[in-house]
Structure 1
Amino acid sequence: MKLRYIFLAVEIVIMMFFLLPVFSNILNPGNIAGMFISAVLILITVFWNKFKELCENMFKHTGGKIVIISVSVIVAAGIIYAAVLTGLMINACVKSPENSQAVVVLGCKVKGDSPSRMLRRRLDAAAEFLSEHEDVFCIVSGGKGDDEQISEAQAMQTYLVQKGISEERIIMEDQSVSTYENLENSCRILKEMGITGDIAIVTDGFHQYRAGFIADRFGYDTSAINSVTDFYNATMTPTYYVREWMAITNEYLKCLKR
């Protein structure tokens, strides 16, 4: 019984991590899926005896056995798949730049004409790196959303200039509306400039693997410059990781179709 209470407490905490972003007006497939799965686990734990009895009764019949075994296999495969993706994501975000010839900063939400909190953290990391490597130039990539006054690229350029980075070192790519287009357009600019070596991507750690996976398809090896994680962002990590699992899977499926 005590073990059940421990499981229930853990599941409620997990649910809270996925629920917290809602209070910051963040509702995406990541926390929707997380809240749904957490709710299912909580219900199973609360009604464990009835759930156990239901499974035992189903297992007495061939159809029930097939359902239980199939669901168990799917759940186990899903857990393994998520664990593998997480390992790839962690490995990608620890690849520090060594001989990167350029930096590509991936865009994020702009509020009015100012970078959002998440985008500012990316830009602060970019500014620090560029200040320490004065021979490296930067591409800021991001178009203008319907609810934004200026393009993400323009907001990023202005912010970096205010941080002391010379405007001459910053190239704006302001047409993209997705991570894929960020990298497609930025890599095209790099090729036009004759840059074929490694590039460093500035984004959040959870985003690095997918960004690198896309850049690799355009012929570029990548390293990671991760935005600085603060307490607020740490509480959002479960939501963004689950959302990223879905986004990575979508990129895999796109590759299969091409």
Structure 2
Amino acid sequence: MKKIIFTIIRSILAILAVILAGFLVAPMGQGIINIGNIAGTALCVWIFCVSVAPIHRAIRSFFCRHKFTKFLYRFVNVCFIIFAVYGTVVTSLMTWAALQTPTENATVVVLGAQVKPWGPSAVLSGRISGAQRYLEEHESASAVLSGGQGSDEPTSEAQCMYDTLTKRGIDGNRLYMEDKSTNTTENIKNSVQVIEENNLNSDLAIATDFYHQLRVRIIMNQLGIEENVGAVNSDTSILYLPVFTVREWFALPYQVLFR
């Protein structure tokens, strides 16, 4: 009975590893290649090899012939186990952050993302849609649109968000632009300043992707911002969700240790 249970668990893990690897590799065809793709795919390959008994036995037999390769085999396995556990814990915390409900009529802070020559990128478009949904549901809420203009962008991210939201029927008087920031920390810091200058509701609703909400909370803590903070999650494409979630596994410790 125990053997059957282990076989079922191994089979499920192998199938999940293949599916997740597919989602991690697919964005590479669109030129999205980062630490999320690479590390995530490597983890999936390891899970698959460990889960498929014949492959696992063959690898173990090959590497355990000599002391050095045996040590290397064990070291790599320990590293991947730690990585898998870390990723599970961090993803759970991301989920917690993304599930924090904003207060009624909170001020929406829409974090910037790349503007393409033809308009908002897929990531920015998702954030705009999330903000639009909240603003339509809370007619007394205002929004701060945050993001400057990069060297490869035709307009500022804030202006792009403003133009898109007003075209979709959101009153421009409810929208405040912050078009100087170049990263998430500046997005938040400058947006809070805009909120204070215009006497907007200090309760915040951060419009960004699911995987980004936890880092936003960490940054706010580092900046000493103690307002009520809720999450307005973007309409993120499932194609991009795994790769950017894994990338956040690396961005979070960097944020904590070096910023």
Q: 1:168-203: per-residue Cα shift (whole Å, max 9, x none)?
A: 221111122221221122122223345573200011
Question: What is the aligned partner in structure 2 of residue 29 from structure 1?
Answer: 35
* 1:48 has 2:63 as partner: no
TM-score by length of 1: 0.83
How far 1:140 sits from its partner (Å)?
0.5
Kept after mapping to 1: 8 A contact 2:64/2:70: no
Kept after mapping to 2: 8 A contact 1:113/1:150: no
Q: 1:4-47: per-residue Cα shift (whole Å, max 9, x none)?
A: 88765544333211111112222222112222333455566575
Kept after mapping to 2: 8 A contact 1:215/1:221: no
Q: 1:34-79: per-residue Cα shift (whole Å, max 9, x none)?
A: 2233345556657533321245445xx5x77765655444333322
| 1:75 counterpart SS class | helix
Corresponding residue to 1:16 among 11, 22, 37: 22
Greater CA deviation, 91-100 or 154-163? Answer: 91-100
Amino acid at match of 1:204: D
* 1:143 has 2:151 as partner: no
Corresponding residue to 2:238 among 218, 225, 234: 234
For 1:121-140, list aligned pairs within 5 A.
121-140=126-145
* 1:206 has 2:206 as partner: no
Change (3 A) 1:24 1:72: closer
TM-score by length of 2: 0.82
State the distance in 2 between where 1:128 and 1:12 align. 34
Query: How many residues are paired up?
Result: 248
Question: What is the aligned partner in structure 2 of residue 186 from structure 1?
Answer: 191
Greater CA deviation, 197-206 or 70-79? Answer: 70-79
Kept after mapping to 2: 8 A contact 1:94/1:224: yes
Identity %: 33
Greater CA deviation, 189-198 or 2-11? Answer: 2-11
Kept after mapping to 2: 8 A contact 1:111/1:148: yes
Change (3 A) 1:69 1:41: closer
Kept after mapping to 1: 8 A contact 2:105/2:138: no
Change (3 A) 1:116 1:147: same
State the distance in 1 between where 2:181 and 2:69 align. 49
Question: What is the aligned partner in structure 1 of residue 44 from structure 2?
Answer: 38
* 1:89 has 2:97 as partner: no
Kept after mapping to 2: 8 A contact 1:122/1:203: yes
Amino acid at match of 2:148: G
Kept after mapping to 2: 8 A contact 1:113/1:148: no
* 1:246 has 2:250 as partner: yes
Corresponding residue to 1:111 among 110, 116, 120: 116
Change (3 A) 1:30 1:188: same
Change (3 A) 1:23 1:71: closer
